A and B are shown apart, each in its own frame.
Chain A
Amino acid sequence: MSPMHKIILPALAGLLMTTPAMAETTQRDLEVIGRALGFVEGASGSDRTVAIVFDPASEGEAQALASAMSGGLSAGRVTLNARLVPMADTGSISGADAAVLLGSAAGDAGVFGAASSAGVMTVSTDMSCVESARCVMGVQSAPSVRIVVNRGASDSSSVSFAAAFAMMIEEI
């Protein structure tokens, strides 16, 4: 991790702790999400564009995420670049490599429908999102890393993962 991110990520985590959310995103969650995005097949190069889809209540959290990724957030062997997408503007999800769903965007049928029709992988730290097939991936980093992929959601989103990765996660 670069020195910049060692500073930014704890600060971001502290900020997020103050933001009401259905599933608060921690520093470790961000690291796991970033590294997990590296295992989505089909993308070329190391740059990944991440759409941060937020509702009005989670705008602060979204801004903090975007700030952490400004200039590119290195996570494993990929670099994440943020694109802020208000929940009402789901058309802007298209073209992204992944969409991190915040607040009520996680579990919203319209958001998932827009992302999946655009072939964008959706991810949330709110596990109910992946369990209800409104997200492709759910991520939890504590007490140990837990990654859940909804196969139905991934199929409908035309998203596939490196198979070694698929073997080491939970599929539902």
Chain B
Amino acid sequence: MKTQFLTTSISVLALSVGFSAATAAQSLDYTAMSDLFGEPVTAGATGAPQRASDVPATMIIITQGDIERFPEYDIPGILRHYAGIDYNRYGYGDGQISIRGAATPYSPRLLVLVNGREVYLDSYGYTAWSTLPVQLEEIQQIEVVKGAQSALYGFNAVSGVVNIITRNPQHGDYATARVNVETDGGFNAAFVAARQFGDRAAVRVSYGNAETSELPAGDNAIEAQPLALQDFHRETGAIEGRFSLTDKVSLTAEATFTNVDQSEMTSVYSSARALYELRSYKAELEADTDYGVITALAYRNESEIAYSFGPLSAELTTFRIQDLFKVGTNNTVRIGAEFRDGQTASFPDPGNGDFGYESMAFSVMWNHKFSNAWDLTLAGRYDSVDWSRDGAPGGFYSFTQDDYSVSFEEFSYNAALVWRPSFGGTMRFMAGRGIQAPTSFDIGFTLQTTVGGNPLILSGNPDMVPSIVDSYEVAYDRSLTPTIDMRAAVFMQDTSDVRGQFGLFPDLLPPTVTIPTLLFDNRGDTTTTGFEFGLAGDPEGNWNWDANYTYQQTEDDLDGTFGLGHVQDFENATPAHLFNGHVGWTGDKLSVDGFVNYVSETTSPLQPVFGLPTQVAIDDYVAVSFRAGYRFNDHIAVSLNAQNANFGDGEATTANAQSESRVWFGLSSSF
């Protein structure tokens, strides 16, 4: 009886398109699907393929066609043009992104993925965007999911998720070489290529190399001034093979490397230079079975980072398995399990015992269509994490080896009700509970230093607990006319037990400890509320335009006084008003785009030298950027890009660095 139910009621789902059974049975063909439905498609909201208009989340989908039009050299620069995106440029390669809240240095609230592999740095939970081993030309689309998404994605997906998807080599050969040359002599070069070998194998390779001057230092950023005189350097590469083992089973294997040398701002608002050497290895097996599409994923991220305060050597190994299937005609179910092993060598001081964690998670997602007008998505995830240290810190530290044997268990959820009313458009009601887990820095950091000649210990804190982010949102999208679309959302994100850093005053003093100790710790609560409103027009003819506005208000309830107890100030670091506008013109060979960004005034923390926290007022600013592209034929194209054209030699947009006008000429050849 049970067998009969399974065979008659479960329809198997494969992330496939059936143009050729022998070709890539398991991969979603974004281009073909988008052409069919006349809108972008994604698997980023629930793990199941969906049309953009159906997803139970507020999403931004940025296609390759969109990316080509921006006068930007990296992904944070592109994202800043969209509603609800907070952006700060702390260095040429250190653009930080947050969703609906201050884009703090080493912003740890965002989960970033490339083809399902986490590329944020698990050791602290931030994304060093310049280290992503992806060239803009090989991106199929960038998906931004706003709000807490831990139930689907796991840790760190507390303010949102950025999912970067590269072009599938099994869906067509391509090759592009591109070089951007800046007016000051800097360059940024990339090569991407994909080729199919018969019906069952395809390979994608990419390589990028960039060297250019750093941004000018902020007026008060004393330690940033010598760093600004050095050059930014980035070299990345990736190779991916996709193989159809049978018509129903496919294998993807990928290896990447990154070397980056850049100026940046740390989580305690101090200026620093960092050298990143990252490696990754990934394998993914997908099988279209009678019981659903079963996906097994394994990857390993290796990080060697030379921070100003010491070297970090960390490894993250992840195994994930999931099954996606449909029950009847109206139910889609995804079940999954994930094991993670994160290990860090004693950091930054050596000899205090390597440390790390093992975690196990189980998740389930259920989508039910009540009718064409209503559908419901529920997702839940249970995480269990165990930390340990394999050696005792030195005698001056306040925690024993056993103190590091800590565990926590957390449950996260997402719920979304989607309504397509008869008067038009789509309304979404969403709630979520996200988990921001303590990281290696938070738990195991050990550094003995001196400040003003006095000994001081900076220490992780195994007593830290996960931050919990509760998010609520109501969104409404609709077409106002056949050529004008509207998007609007009202949101609230409440974070309790914020992961925070130390201030000037030690958390532990003699005689409790031998040396005054500053601790990583939970530092209270913060809440951001606001709304977004956007319009996009694509009238007949050559013109298109879009504009969006975001209002956000952050209220902190942090423990202690700024500077003494902590160096966080989300309330004043979050701009209340964000406006972005764009007008584009497209001809047969020529395209021209103009962009404007407005960010209202903020106040940013800064430690011009460690131990002297202060705050710096950042005036509101308007950035104007242009791009003109000309395509001679199918093979050769050129572009002239002016980023922040009105900034001249420098405009203070953060406390660490000034953004300046950058102009570059681009030449690309496709063959």
Contact = CB atoms under 8 A, between A and B. Distances in A.
A and B bind: yes
A76 interface: yes
B32 A38 contact: yes
B18 A168 contact: no
Interface string A34-53: 01101111111110000000
Contacts of A40: 18
B21 A145 contact: no
Contact of A35 (B14, B15, B32): B32
Given A167-B48, A168-B54, A41 B36 contact: no
Contact of A145 (B17, B38, B50, B293): B38
Interface string A74-104: 0011100000000000000000000000000
Contacts of B17: 38-39, 162, 164-165
B437 to A, nearest CB: 31
B49 A164 contact: yes
B372 interface: yes
B35 interface: yes
B16 A163 contact: yes
Contacts of A143: 479, 482
A45 B20 CA distance: 7
B28 interface: yes
Given A40-B18, A168-B49, A172-B329, A163 B288 contact: yes
Nearest to A165: B17
B8 to A, nearest CB: 10
Contact of A168 (B38, B50, B479): B50
B36 A163 contact: no
B43 to A, nearest CB: 8
A80 to B, nearest CB: 14
A23 B19 CA distance: 28
11 contacts: A40-B18, A145-B36, A145-B38, A162-B18, A163-B16, A165-B17, A165-B18, A165-B33, A167-B13, A167-B49, A167-B332
B326 interface: yes
Contacts of A108: none
Given A164-B49, A167-B332, 14 more contacts: A35-B32, A35-B36, A39-B17, A39-B19, A40-B18, A41-B18, A44-B21, A76-B35, A145-B36, A145-B38, A162-B17, A164-B16, A167-B50, A168-B54
B13 A164 contact: yes
Interface in A5-64: 32, 35-36, 38-46
Contacts of B16: 162-164
A151 B455 CA distance: 74
Contacts of B20: 44-46
A46 to B, nearest CB: 7
B343 to A, nearest CB: 37
Contacts of B614: none
Interface in B1-37: 11-21, 28-29, 32-33, 35-37
A166 B13 contact: yes
B35 to A, nearest CB: 6
Contacts of B21: 41-42, 44
B13 A168 contact: no
B652 interface: no
Contacts of B372: 170
B33 A168 contact: yes
B252 interface: no
A151 B11 CA distance: 10
Interface string B268-306: 000000000000000000001000010000000000000
A172 B328 CA distance: 9
A64 B51 CA distance: 32
A77 B19 contact: yes
Contact of A32 (B33, B36, B369): B36
A162 B288 CA distance: 11
3 closest residue pairs by CB, A with B: A162-B18, A163-B14, A171-B329
B14 A168 contact: no
A168 B37 CA distance: 9
Interface in B321-354: 326, 329-330, 332
B130 to A, nearest CB: 33
A144 interface: yes
B53 interface: yes
A163 B35 contact: no
Nearest to A41: B18
Contacts of A76: 19, 32, 35-36
Contacts of B38: 144-145
B19 A144 contact: no
Given A36-B36, A166-B13, A168-B37, A144 B18 contact: no
Nearest to A38: B19
A62 B53 CA distance: 33
Interface string B129-141: 0000000000000
A144 B485 CA distance: 13
A46 B37 CA distance: 20
A77 B32 contact: yes
Given A35-B36, A38-B17, A39-B17, A164 B11 contact: no
Interface in A110-145: 143-145
A163 B19 contact: no
Interface in B431-482: 479, 482
B157 interface: no
Contact of B53 (A42, A43, A144, A164): A144
B17 to A, nearest CB: 5
A164 B33 contact: yes
A15 to B, nearest CB: 23
Contacts of B54: 168
Given A44-B20, A145-B36, A168 B15 contact: no
Contacts of B36: 32, 35-36, 39, 76, 145
B329 A151 contact: yes
Contacts of B293: 163
Given A38-B18, A145-B37, A161-B18, A166 B326 contact: yes
B41 interface: yes
A164 B19 contact: no
Contacts of A166: 11, 13, 326
A164 B326 CA distance: 11
Q: Which of A32, A40, A164, A172 has the most CB of B within 10 A?
A: A164
Nearest to B288: A163
Contacts of B329: 151, 171-172
A101 to B, nearest CB: 20
